[in-house]
């Protein structure tokens, strides 16, 4: 009799555990990265339609706007639910993400569109509040990095640089943009831009950001435009294309003329070998009386943006330059459109597409997780926070 009772009791315990596990998996499903074909199909299915979600964009800029909404949603949706659905999962894991996921599930059962907007809002709020404060911190300035400040390299474990009499004078006085910038475009280097004829549209933006000193010669401008207000320069480019500026600076200074009077954004304090290369690039431009301004990326900003996206499922060792720039743009611009982000071998017409619009040198998959990054950009596109332009501009 006792044995039978124990058997029944253990059976119901197991049943309860199973129900709990199923609930858990429903709320926190195991993540599976869709393959390239699924992504192409989803993009084709959604098409190029896009509805701007002003709230989503504003939330990057107006911190206070979201909190009343969040509090209201929590009050209306979370509190009336029983303890084991709301508080328990929160106790067991990160409280905020549990609340956010629950709200999303509830919204999803009401209207999928609302769930999407919610997801975008959550991403935005986190980017703004938990993370990075791009407006004040994206570049090293005399205001935010005084002599003696220790800069920990964001791409190294134990290296740091203490701002000193040699480096401090190279920093701009303060963040030089007139913020908020109005319409911004971030141009990735993806092969989707080839034959896109998007140059005109890109050049109509108020502020254009580009990655890694990309070629802007005549053969490409119809597709990618010419206008550049900010361009990043990986120190590796100085090393590989300009022999570390050890012999001649002329070719470098000449090639930089393609970017007009733009800001040159360099991650000088990300990897140790990049520091000297970046400082050399700075001096080469300064000595040639160039009208360009070198901005050194703030390693704390890069680290925080990297952490933020890691929490959202981007697992590469390092974010790609493009995602750093998009994160920056969302913090400093009223409207953001991204071109040239398509890290897949097949285009939207299901035909092979080269990796870059100018060559087919593939990225190092040891460092970056570009397809995962693309999914995040796609989420932001779907939630109306930024516009991801993938097709042609005919
Ligand atoms: C071989 C290699 O190291 N390639 C790296 C190159 C290389 O260092 C520079 O081009 C300089 O030569 O730089 C990277 O990237 P890259 O310069 O190729 O591209 C800039 C940004 O565009 C987006 N992109 C690019 C190609 C593509 N098919 N789809 C895309 O979405 C990405 O967001 C990307 O960041 C980099 O810095 O991120 C990352 C690449 O891994």
Cβ of 370 below 6 Å from ligand 1: yes
Question: Mutate which of 40, 186, 188 to test ligand 1's pocket (most atoms within 8 Å of Cβ)?
Answer: 188
Give the three-state DSSP class for 37: helix
Which residue, chain included where needed, has tokens 């199923």? Answer: 22
Cβ of 236 below 6 Å from ligand 1: yes
Between the CA of 211 and the centroid of ligand 1 the distance, in Å, is 8
**pLDDT for the residue 9:** 72
**pLDDT for the residue 327:** 93
**pLDDT for the residue 380:** 87
Residues 6+ apart with CB under 8 A from 139: 172, 175, 265, 295, 296, 297, 298, 301
Query: Is residue 188 a contact partner of residue 202, using CB atoms and an 8 Å limit?
Result: no
Query: Is residue 332 a contact partner of residue 179, using CB atoms and an 8 Å limit?
Result: yes
Query: Cβ atoms within 10 A of the Cβ of 227, count?
Result: 21
Between the CA of 316 and the centroid of ligand 1 the distance, in Å, is 13
Average pLDDT per block of 10 residues along the chain, 394 residues long: 60 83 66 70 70 54 45 54 49 51 64 65 59 88 97 94 98 91 97 97 98 98 98 97 95 97 98 97 97 97 91 86 94 93 90 96 84 90 89 89
pTM of the model: 0.80
Query: Is residue 106 a contact partner of residue 77, using CB atoms and an 8 Å limit?
Result: yes
Say whether 356 is catalytic. Answer: no
Query: Is residue 192 a contact partner of residue 335, using CB atoms and an 8 Å limit?
Result: no
The Cα–Cα gap between 19 and 16 comes to 5
**pLDDT for the residue 31:** 56
Asked if the bond preceding 78 is cis, omega within 30° of 0, the reply is no
Query: Is residue 218 a contact partner of residue 244, using CB atoms and an 8 Å limit?
Result: no
In degrees rounded to 5, what are phi and psi of residue 317?
Answer: -70, -30
Catalytic residue among 283, 311, 312, 368: 368
**pLDDT for the residue 106:** 66
- What is the token pair recorded at 294? 């070198």
Please give the ipTM for the structure prediction. 0.99
- The minimum-distance atom of ligand 1 relative to the CA of 320 is 38
Query: Is residue 151 a contact partner of residue 145, using CB atoms and an 8 Å limit?
Result: yes
Between the CA of 333 and the centroid of ligand 1 the distance, in Å, is 23
To 10 degrees, the CA torsion angle through 88, 89, 90, 92? 90
Question: Mutate which of 211, 305, 348 to test ligand 1's pocket (most atoms within 8 Å of Cβ)?
Answer: 211
């Amino acid at each position: 009799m006792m044995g039978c009772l124990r058997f029944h009791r253990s059976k119901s315990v197991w049943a309860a555990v199973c129900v709990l596990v199923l609930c858990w998996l429903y709320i926190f499903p195991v993540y599976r990265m869709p393959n390239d074909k699924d992504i192409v199909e989803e993009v084709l299915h959604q098409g190029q339609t896009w509805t701007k979600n002003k709230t989503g964009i504003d939330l990057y800029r107006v911190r206070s706007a979201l909190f009343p909404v969040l509090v209201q949603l929590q009050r209306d949706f979370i509190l009336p639910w029983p303890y084991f659905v709301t508080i328990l999962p929160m106790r067991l894991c990160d409280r905020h993400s549990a609340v956010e996921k629950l709200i999303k599930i509830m919204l999803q059962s009401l209207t999928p569109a609302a769930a999407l907007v919610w997801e975008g809002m959550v991403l935005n709020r986190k980017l703004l509040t938990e993370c990075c404060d791009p407006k004040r911190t994206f570049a090293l300035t005399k205001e935010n990095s005084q002599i003696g400040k220790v800069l920990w390299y964001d791409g190294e474990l134990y290296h740091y640089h203490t701002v000193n009499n040699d480096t401090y004078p190279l920093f701009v006085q303060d963040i030089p943009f007139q913020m908020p910038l109005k319409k911004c475009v971030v141009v990735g280097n993806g092969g989707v831009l080839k034959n896109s004829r998007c140059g005109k549209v890109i050049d109509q933006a108020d502020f254009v950001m580009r990655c890694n000193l990309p070629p802007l010669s005549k053969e490409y401008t119809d597709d990618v435009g010419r206008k550049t207000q900010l361009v990043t320069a990986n120190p590796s480019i100085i090393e590989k294309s300009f022999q570390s500026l050890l012999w001649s600076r002329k070719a470098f200074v000449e090639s930089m003329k393609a970017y007009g009077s733009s800001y040159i954004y360099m991650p000088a304090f990300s990897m140790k070998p990049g520091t000297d290369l970046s400082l050399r690039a700075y001096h080469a431009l300064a000595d040639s009386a160039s009208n360009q301004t070198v901005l050194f990326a703030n390693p704390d900003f890069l680290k925080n943006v990297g952490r933020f996206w890691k929490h959202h499922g981007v697992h590469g060792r390092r974010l790609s330059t493009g995602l750093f720039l998009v994160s920056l743009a969302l913090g400093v611009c009223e409207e953001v459109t991204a071109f040239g982000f398509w890290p897949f071998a097949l285009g939207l017409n299901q035909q092979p597409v080269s990796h870059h619009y100018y060559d087919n040198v593939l990225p190092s998959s040891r460092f970056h997780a570009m397809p995962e990054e693309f999914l995040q950009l796609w989420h932001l596109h779907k939630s109306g926070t930024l516009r991801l332009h993938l097709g042609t501009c005919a």
